[in-house]
Chain A
């Protein structure tokens, strides 16, 4: 049976994602730190976007850059720097796409052959996290397009 993923807004500035994996920490850590493995799970088919490129130089000060999109001409890029790399237990990186980007830390805690993964995303301010959440309006364009249509037919 698969384990449940939880997401919680722990504070005004912080989101926490948790999940347990059925394997030792060194294996889960490996899947987060080798680009050829990251590539295989970071952009699952069900999300409808594909990973165009995935570079990750996982060492302190090393950079990463993931590009997503429906077409190669207009990719959406996520990039930043690794600021802490502790093998098999902790990874920390910056999200430099905007000034309001979070600092993401991921911890891997092994217990009885399983690994509890906890991902913290700490935003620079409450407004930054609120903004990331409000950005979801961009994620609901179909809904608003339909409403626009409805309003037009009324008028």
Chain B
């Protein structure tokens, strides 16, 4: 095997790699990775006969999660802006009345 130039060494770790690294059985590691995958902390991908793992969400899920967080930020701002608008409306009404008097 060409150790240094072996592209297999540069790829994301497989479940077998992780099991070896953490001195666990393959079955045990599969379970752990499964839990992390469900929680969205790890993404796995089957390449040939090997399942590789990496940290984080899938691209599309990541984008959807970001958009939802961004929406929540603006929603929180706009809730406060509602209050400012209500207050300005009340003020204008009072001012208008004063002018007519």
A residues adjacent to B (C-beta < 8 A) = 2, 4-9, 15, 17, 19, 21-23, 27-28, 30-31, 37, 40-42, 44, 46-47, 119, 133-134, 136-137, 139, 143-144, 147, 154-155
Contact = CB atoms under 8 A, between A and B. Distances in A.
Nearest to A5: B75
Contacts of A19: 74-75, 78
B62 A134 contact: yes
A147 B92 CA distance: 54
Given A41-B81, A41-B84, 9 more contacts: A2-B82, A8-B67, A15-B70, A31-B85, A41-B80, A44-B79, A119-B74, A133-B62, A154-B24
Interface residues of B, number: 34
Interface of B: 21-22, 24, 32, 36, 41, 55-56, 62-63, 65-71, 73-86, 88-89, 92
